[in-house]
Structure 1
């Protein structure tokens, strides 16, 4: 038996292949899309990280500003009274003459008690400024310069962002670097009782350690394996403009050292752009690497926050994520394949196997009374119902076929009997045709003998005529000759009577042949009808029966033609007999008047001439009859051959009928192996 893959297995494999193709068609674009999304997500994460760093710095800045504002209130609490400006009097402070700023009546120029007391309490620095025209001069301070001396007598740099706010009479809160230290400062204008701007107060929170701690925290931020946060000073008024405030390796160094593969300082664009993201390719000791950058500026401090991550590290992390996704898809395919295998086995394979086993049992037992016992409301149930209907149809068809086989067997046997009868009739027809051929040959011989006799009579008539002319001396010889002619004509008359009798016998034989041909035609028609009833099995016999019928029709036509020719021959023979009788009468009359022969010699001569003409006419007629008889003999031979052919066809029909009977038996045997 040929082994084939089961339909359930094929369904599962097909579904697995389709799912694999679908998953592959989904995963491949997903991989590309996810890679782009991961890149965008990483850049967004970098941007968020930069934003969070700015928020951290801003929060730190806001907290220090709030503290500076509070400490400024503390400073003002140390100075009870109203301020006033005496521009007419100047007191030198650290060698710099400055207008006198009084608190109440106390000049504050060079008086550091209040600011020192504040610094001692808060740990922060404070300064008092006096307005001198458009400048602000430090007249009291706890701020120390690099050499440890107080920063007195110096003017507030007009480039300081606090200057513009103070000259406008407004407070200023912000980061400032004083003598190498970072401060969060609070500048506030000082007004006299009339509201005139006479000076300024300053409180500075030392943010150096706080900013250093902030930078340490930001420096610990890692993006991937080697990604980091970098800070660049972008304050154009700062001496450190363009240098790294925070970097794992380049602290205090200019950012212009970082160039891409084309030699361009790529961070310069970031410094100028203030905010954005980009990917640059930079060459280092290990080769060319792609860096993903996200950056934004914290304007209050003039810091550019840069997030720097290697693209390869991001892709590695994304690749791991994608591998998990692909692995999950593969696992999903396997789980679905297992589920499909189980469902296919339960819903398809088992019902189909039951159907196959049921059909195999019917095939092996050949019992068409069995039925497929499967009742389902699906395609398998429909197939089972269809098979049961088909088995029912087969059972009914085989029952009908069995009955038809019996009928065919009976018809074949009856046809065989009729074919045997036809063969016997054809044999008899052949024998009759042979006898008729023999009689035709005898008739032809008689006709030849008659022809010879008439030729002799013609010669005798000529001799008689010659004798009549020779005179009376030949009268006796003429009388003898006339008597001999009379005798010969009598014999010819007898021969013609014999010919007429033979023609009558031939007519009877031809009628017998015609009757046999008609009977054969009827038998052939009956055989054709029986063959038509036999259907496809009798088609060959129908052809034979049709040929026999045609042969019988041709035989009938030929016998009619032979009968017609024999009738003509009988008419001619009767005419010849009549002529012979007249000749005999003439001869008798000549013998009677022998005595008057001399006187009637002329009459004898005339009669001899007429007799000669009659004999010659008889001779010609006999020649014609001889040809007719020869043609009839040929037709009789054809009839004999046709009879032989008809006999052979009848025998073949009998053999075909016997073969049909054998086929009917075989069909009945084949049908009998099925139980119906």
Structure 2
């Protein structure tokens, strides 16, 4: 029952109960005291005082009646005086009977007729009857003039005993009131003890309920402060303020336990994602390093290609010079043809080497293109992992996007280089074909010098084309060098971005580890 009462009502009840008991006891004591006062008034005044007064007055009247009777017996009285004395005697006798009758009525109403005199053990009824008998006998004899003093004395003795009885009754009533007061005191003590007992039991029950609720609240708060969230709390709570606080603490602890569980899962997921991002970043970094090395190799090949192109251009100039000399000096044509044939052979070899170098550059460009595609895929995977990491992977998502853009730029540059290389290969093939044709012509020059003379112009034209192609190849080689340098720069930027991503992923992993360590102090 106390479980569903509010703390305010419990404390109010703890104060109201003793006040209510105090009021009830005070009202009862006031009523009891009024009853005792009324009884004491009745016994002391209506019974003792009034009856005693009636008896004393009756005794006085008997004394006066006796004097009047004795005065009547005196022969010296005149007729008027004698008549007055008889009247006084008759009045006194009447007053005696009236007063004794009233005293009888009062004692009858208060149930005193059966009470006995302490010494003579004669009841009030017997004393009244004896008085009535002897006083009636005395009054009758007095009227007849033959009064007997023995009847008078017996009647007066009865009145005296009644007076003594009334005095003793007054003393008894005083003693009874004293006893009642003592009983009342004991009753008050008992009531106070009962009130104290009721207050103690009620207060102990209320304090025990409050202490139990406070102990539970302290225990739950201490468990939460120590990180112990295993206890789910009480199944039922009191309906007072402390019960509401206890229920709120249990709800808070349960919510904190669910939150810590979710944080643990999220921290483990972030740790796993950070590890995956770090691994992906390492792969991206290795790819960038490989791409940079490939770009360096391509740069070296292009350098050699440029040197070959310059050599071809130089040889073309020499061939042009020889052709001009051939036109001027037909006699020395044979020697010039032999020298030109040797130069053509060397030029053919150089062109073949240039074709091989172009093919090798094409292969390298293919490798670089594959690396760019792999880098783009790795950047896409990194962006996906960053999205899975949520807000904590946002920085890494930006870095992954930059890596992806760099990979796209690398792919575009690689495609441009591939187009340039294809152009170079086409030009080289054309040069090889021209050199083959020129070589055949020089081989036929020994048999038909005239044919050589006619073909000198053609050779000059072919040589000029070769020189022009060589210049074009040199320009294209410079463009290839720029593209390769761009690829190298992009690779360096990608490597730096990968390092930054790795650093961010390591920081993310460290933060996730710290979060996991802090959360694991809670026992759920």
| TM-score between both structures, scaled by the size of structure 2 | 0.55
Match of 2:508 in 1: 660
CA shift for structure 1 position 398:
0.8
2:330 matched to 1:439?
no
Match of 2:383 in 1: 528
Are the counterparts in 1 of residues 355 and 429 from structure 2 also a CA contact under 8 Å? Answer: yes
2:499 matched to 1:644?
no
Match of 1:429 in 2: 291
CA shift for structure 1 position 438:
1.2
Which structure 2 segments of 5+ residues have no match? Answer: 1-7, 9-206
* Counterpart Cα distance in 2 of 1:524 and 1:363: 44
* Counterpart Cα distance in 1 of 2:252 and 2:324: 100
CA shift for structure 1 position 379:
7.0
* Counterpart Cα distance in 2 of 1:392 and 1:651: 43
Distance 1:352 1:542, change over 3 A: farther
Structure with higher strand content:
1
* Counterpart Cα distance in 2 of 1:457 and 1:526: 58
* Counterpart Cα distance in 2 of 1:371 and 1:411: 33
Match of 1:364 in 2: 225
Residue among 259, 265, 282 paired with 1:403: 265
Are the counterparts in 1 of residues 224 and 253 from structure 2 also a CA contact under 8 Å? Answer: no
- Equivalence map 1:401-550=2 (5 Å): 401-467=263-329, 474-475=330-331, 477-550=332-405
Residue among 513, 517, 520 paired with 1:669: 517
* Counterpart Cα distance in 2 of 1:386 and 1:404: 27
CA shift for structure 1 position 671:
0.3
Could you say what secondary structure the match of 2:379 adopts? Answer: helix
Could you say what secondary structure the match of 2:446 adopts? Answer: helix
Are the counterparts in 2 of residues 405 and 668 from structure 1 also a CA contact under 8 Å? Answer: yes
CA shift for structure 1 position 649:
2.3
* Counterpart Cα distance in 2 of 1:353 and 1:454: 106
- Equivalence map 1:200-599=2 (5 Å): 360-362=221-223, 364-369=225-230, 375=237, 377=239, 384-467=246-329, 474-475=330-331, 477-594=332-449
Matched residues, number? 316
Which structure 1 segments of 5+ residues have no match? Answer: 1-7, 9-345, 468-473, 595-599
Match of 2:50 in 1: none
CA shift for structure 1 position 569:
0.6
CA shift for structure 1 position 380:
6.6
Are the counterparts in 2 of residues 423 and 650 from structure 1 also a CA contact under 8 Å? Answer: yes
Could you say what secondary structure the match of 1:366 adopts? Answer: coil
Cα offsets for 1:481-523 (capped at 9, x unmatched) = 1221222122111111111100100011111111111112222
Could you say what secondary structure the match of 2:523 adopts? Answer: coil
* Counterpart Cα distance in 2 of 1:542 and 1:350: 57
CA shift for structure 1 position 448:
1.2
Cα offsets for 1:155-184 (capped at 9, x unmatched) = xxxxxxxxxxxxxxxxxxxxxxxxxxxxxx
CA shift for structure 1 position 573:
0.6
Distance 1:481 1:379, change over 3 A: farther
* Counterpart Cα distance in 1 of 2:241 and 2:423: 86
Match of 2:456 in 1: 608
Cα offsets for 1:336-393 (capped at 9, x unmatched) = xxxxxxxxxx9xx999988985775355323334567794547775565444333212
CA shift for structure 1 position 459:
1.8
Are the counterparts in 2 of residues 531 and 538 from structure 1 also a CA contact under 8 Å? Answer: yes
Once the two structures are overlaid, the 10-residue window that deviates more, 490-499 or 642-651, is 642-651
Cα offsets for 1:188-209 (capped at 9, x unmatched) = xxxxxxxxxxxxxxxxxxxxxx
Are the counterparts in 2 of residues 429 and 513 from structure 1 also a CA contact under 8 Å? Answer: yes
Distance 1:410 1:478, change over 3 A: same
Are the counterparts in 2 of residues 351 and 380 from structure 1 also a CA contact under 8 Å? Answer: no
CA shift for structure 1 position 653:
2.5
CA shift for structure 1 position 425:
2.4
Could you say what secondary structure the match of 1:592 adopts? Answer: coil
* Counterpart Cα distance in 2 of 1:433 and 1:351: 80
CA shift for structure 1 position 655:
2.6
CA shift for structure 1 position 607:
1.6
Are the counterparts in 2 of residues 355 and 372 from structure 1 also a CA contact under 8 Å? Answer: no
Distance 1:502 1:433, change over 3 A: same
CA shift for structure 1 position 617:
1.2
* Counterpart Cα distance in 1 of 2:489 and 2:274: 29
Distance 1:378 1:464, change over 3 A: farther
Cα offsets for 1:595-641 (capped at 9, x unmatched) = xxxxx3xx544321121111111111110111001100111111112
* Counterpart Cα distance in 2 of 1:546 and 1:352: 58
